[in-house]
Structure 1
């Protein structure tokens, strides 16, 4: 069977319920072009507020070094190769693939403190900075993802899927005064590495469009895929 499979990532709404500093939604899709190869895409939007704080067991009196909010959208395009040999009529998948991805976003520096070398008056080493939000717009990034995934048909044409992703950051356009510490679709940016990791859990519906007859061998009846 050949057709379009569309769905939504379940992990982001669940994460939003558990984390008040995060919101996000991702749509997923793939289109079968050969017996083993699928065109694949993901499109999403995320917003996350993060902070860096001094180590303190008492969260009520924590000293935040900075607090920022990242908001933006992303698009991932690529292919998946299915390594699973299905029985007749099945379209389950154990696949690997790749995506070329890009994100456009903005960052708002909500507040920050300033390092103070005069430890006598400021034993925490930080002096008050600013609580006036500073917004940085027009930010963007691109990266390559390597994907390992699985899809299982729960009911007729309804699929549950999961994937893990290893990403490599290609380009990263930053503001002059504040770096990109978190990128929608890519997740956390590390100072000493361009690699990132991600995952998703999808629920999708397959829309069958047509069938192809498999090439027959001599003295064999053609079989539909």
Structure 2
């Protein structure tokens, strides 16, 4: 009987020891499995940025065409993302504008193209693709100027020539085959309002490099460049666009780890 009792005690001790050892192994293996997996997930967090063609239209020109009887215009815009912050960009448009000055009235009609690039200076939050860009454009325009009417200026109004409406009929008509080239510095913002749809606005500082003009009439307005100021080669412009992104592929950028 004593032998049986002692044997039973020994078996219980062995079983208990084995159970504790097995439990310890389970705890250790659990900790080993959990910690590395979490680390791998944190280290492998990446940005999946979309690369593709964004095309749109400048809304300011159709709106101005509706509100101003002397203006007609349309501009298409586009850009393509070639690296994480670098975009090639282009604008293509047409304008027809009639301008009334103090002594003459003229109509400008022509087309233009602008080519250049944008650099995104904004560091987006995770999952965002908004843009605050600085850019450069080279513009080229071909157009015509039509002198509709003008009055001969005279410093002596005693005889009332201006009141009589005397005009230089010999110089009236269209002057075609004109062109101009300029550069633009662009500052703009693009915001994704819904998936793949962006609203944007930009302001531009223009510098007129060269223009050809008729001998009888200067270029006072250039399509794409806007108003030409006498004695200055600088001008300003703006646009307000809506565009749609056509994704082509995605590229990853590792997320920066917090120190």
So what's the TM-score if we normalise by structure 1?
A: 0.87
Q: Please report how far the alpha carbon of residue 125 of structure 1 lies from its aligned counterpart in structure 2 after TM superposition.
A: 7.7
Verify: 1:35 aligned to 2:84, yes or no: yes
Verify: 1:106 aligned to 2:155, yes or no: no
So what's the TM-score if we normalise by structure 2?
A: 0.76
Q: 1:78 aligns with which of 116, 119, 135?
A: 116
Q: 1:183 aligns with which of 218, 222, 226?
A: 222
Map 1:105-184; keep pairs closer than 5 Å. 105-116=143-154, 118-122=156-160, 124=162, 128-130=166-168, 133-184=172-223
Aligned residues: 207
Cα distance in 2 between the residues matched to 1:216 and 1:186:
42
Q: 1:18 aligns with which of 57, 63, 67?
A: 67
- Per-residue displacement from partner, 1:107-133 (whole Å, max 9, x unpaired)? 000011112355321174875014574
Unaligned residue ranges in structure 2 (runs of 5+): 1-49
- Per-residue displacement from partner, 1:129-186 (whole Å, max 9, x unpaired)? 1457410000000000000000000100000000000000001100111000000000
Greater mean alpha carbon deviation, residues 121-130 or residues 87-96? 121-130
Q: 2:239 aligns with which of 177, 200, 205?
A: 200
Greater mean alpha carbon deviation, residues 82-91 or residues 136-145? 82-91
Please identify the structure whose Cα radius of gyration is greater: 2
Q: 1:3 aligns with which of 52, 76, 79?
A: 52
Map 1:39-58; keep pairs closer than 5 Å. 39-53=88-102
Q: Assess if the C-alpha contact under 8 Å between 1:32 and 1:38 holds in 2.
A: yes
What SS class does the counterpart of residue 128 from structure 1 fall into? Answer: coil
Greater mean alpha carbon deviation, residues 40-49 or residues 128-137? 128-137
Cα distance in 1 between the residues matched to 2:184 and 2:164:
39
Cα distance in 1 between the residues matched to 2:204 and 2:122:
19
Aligned to 2:131: 93
What SS class does the counterpart of residue 251 from structure 2 fall into? Answer: coil
Cα distance in 2 between the residues matched to 1:126 and 1:81:
57
More helix by share: 2
